[in-house]
Amino acid sequence: MEAPLQQLHSKIWEEQGIALWVKREDLLHPTISGNKWRKLKYNLQEAKRLQHDTLLTFGGAYSNHIAAVAAAGQEFGFKTIGIIRGEEHLPLNPTLSFATTAGMELHYTSREAYRQKTDPVYLAQLAEQFANPYIIPEGGTNALAVKGCTEIVSDISIEYDYICCASGTGGTIAGIIAGLEGEKQVLGFPALKGGEFLREEIEQLIQSYSGQRYDNWQLITDYHFGGYAKVKPELLGFMRGFQQEHNLPLEPVYTGKMFYSLIDLIQEGYFPKGSRIVAVHTGGLQGNAGFKERLGIAL
Ligand SMILES: *Cc1c(COP(=O)(O)O)cnc(C)c1O
């Protein structure tokens, strides 16, 4: 499978001699979105190899990962169980409604219990309760996910200097860095507040995959817009203009913020003249239906 590269044109960067492409991972698969497909690919193979018939994973009520696992289970013949943070709200939001329609069984858990999601004792309990499912961590991030995300870069056929990517758990950028093996510069745009905590996790993920350490990457932590699920009018305004100008759908949690920050960096003169930049569109567009419902606005 291949995700196309779309070149974006604007005076903002072209006057500075900078070229910008978007790697449209959002187009990889209609329902297993972008980086979530990359992260699931080898996990699905492993689950089959180990003869599991059920996938179990964790996520919030609007999680792109929950939607992706539900769709993957349906397409590849696994039962799916979603451990959802917080209480049930009816009617189901668009993400959870999609997941149940794809066959996922939802189990709600208190925020306290949810925090144990990596605790081996809790995981052993879940394994027993649900008849030995293949357990995928929150956000889909593990060493096999990192392996899958190395293919984001092996898939790029043009010359470039920088690659940009939004980050949540750091699995995607870890795969990009590992795949580049020290070549080029990688910029990560954390969607959460205080993204610096991610640095160490990304280093560990790269280690767990390849045993290597690399220095050709950096996290841009200035523009979080107040964290994960908050949407500021300034960001929405930017997204509207950008989507229209470039015919490129965005969502406000990851890709909208990444492009906002990237354009800012370009305008500040961060990139030397002649730079060629690839920005990865990690997908996540399924989340827009939930924002539309909550905010009463189209994105
Ligand atoms: C999950 C997700 C991310 C974050 O990926 P990580 O591997 O957790 O860093 C980025 N963008 C989108 C659209 C996502 O759905």
Instruction: Give the residue ranges of DSSP H helices in 107-249.
Output: 111-114, 120-129, 143-154, 171-180, 197-210, 233-246
Best mutation site among 24, 31, 33, 169 for ligand 1 pocket (most ligand atoms within 8 Å of CB): 169
Residue 297's pLDDT is 72
Contacts of residue 136, defined as CB under 8 A and 6 or more positions apart, other chains included, come to 40, 43, 55, 56, 57, 69, 142
Q: Among the atoms of ligand 1, which is closest to the Cα of residue 170?
A: 9
User: What is the whole-number distance in angstroms between the Cα of residue 47 and the centre of ligand 1?
Assistant: 22
| Measured CA distances, 208 to 51, 141, 190, 201, 285 (Å) | 24, 12, 21, 10, 30
User: What is the whole-number distance in angstroms between the Cα of residue 127 and the centre of ligand 1?
Assistant: 26
Residues constituting the chain: 299
Checking if the pLDDT of 226 tops 70, the result is no
Checking if the pLDDT of 231 tops 80, the result is no
Q: What pairs with residue 227 in β-bridges?
A: none
Does residue 137 have a cis bond before it (omega within 30 degrees)? no
pLDDT (tens digit, 9 = 90+) per residue, 168-188? 999 999 999 999 999 999 999
- Give the catalytic positions in this structure: 63
pTM of the model: 0.95
Checking if the pLDDT of 120 tops 80, the result is yes
Checking if the pLDDT of 232 tops 90, the result is no
Angle, CA of 191, 197 and 202, to the nearest 5°: 85
Contacts of residue 72, defined as CB under 8 A and 6 or more positions apart, other chains included, come to 32, 37, 40, 44, 55, 78, 80
* CB 249 within 8 Å of CB 26: yes
Please name the residue whose Cα sits nearest to atom 4 of ligand 1: 168
If DSSP codes are grouped into helix, strand and coil, which group holds residue 285? coil
Instruction: Give residue 247's pLDDT band: very low, low, confident or very high (50, 70, 90).
Output: very high
All structural domains of the chain with their residue ranges: 5-31+142-295, 35-140
Residue type, 92: L
* Domain range 35-140, CATH class: alpha beta
Checking if the pLDDT of 270 tops 90, the result is yes
Please name the residue whose Cα sits nearest to atom 2 of ligand 1: 168
Residue 229's pLDDT is 58
Distance CA 46, CA 134 (A): 9
Residues flanking ligand 1, CB < 6 Å: 34-36, 64-65, 139, 141, 166-172, 254-255, 282-284
User: What is the whole-number distance in angstroms between the Cα of residue 274 and the centre of ligand 1?
Assistant: 29
Residue 3's pLDDT is 79
Distance CA 44, CA 296 (A): 36
User: What is the whole-number distance in angstroms between the Cα of residue 227 and the centre of ligand 1?
Assistant: 14
Residue 298's pLDDT is 72
Q: Provide the CATH number for the domain formed by 5-31+142-295 in this structure.
A: 3.40.50.1100
Residue 222's pLDDT is 73
* CB 258 within 8 Å of CB 206: no
H or E element: which one contains 60?
A: none
Q: What is the CB neighbour count within 10 angstroms for residue 241?
A: 10
Q: Among the atoms of ligand 1, which is closest to the Cα of residue 68?
A: 15
Task: Pick the range with the lowest mean pLDDT from 1-10, 125-134, 266-275.
Answer: 1-10
Q: Among the atoms of ligand 1, which is closest to the Cα of residue 169?
A: 8
Overall average pLDDT of the 246-256 stretch? 95
Domains 5-31+142-295 and 35-140 share a fold: yes
Give how far the C-alpha of residue 17 lies from the chain's centroid of Cα atoms, to the nearest Å. 29
Q: Which two tokens stand for residue 221?
A: 């932590």
Best mutation site among 167, 220, 299 for ligand 1 pocket (most ligand atoms within 8 Å of CB): 167
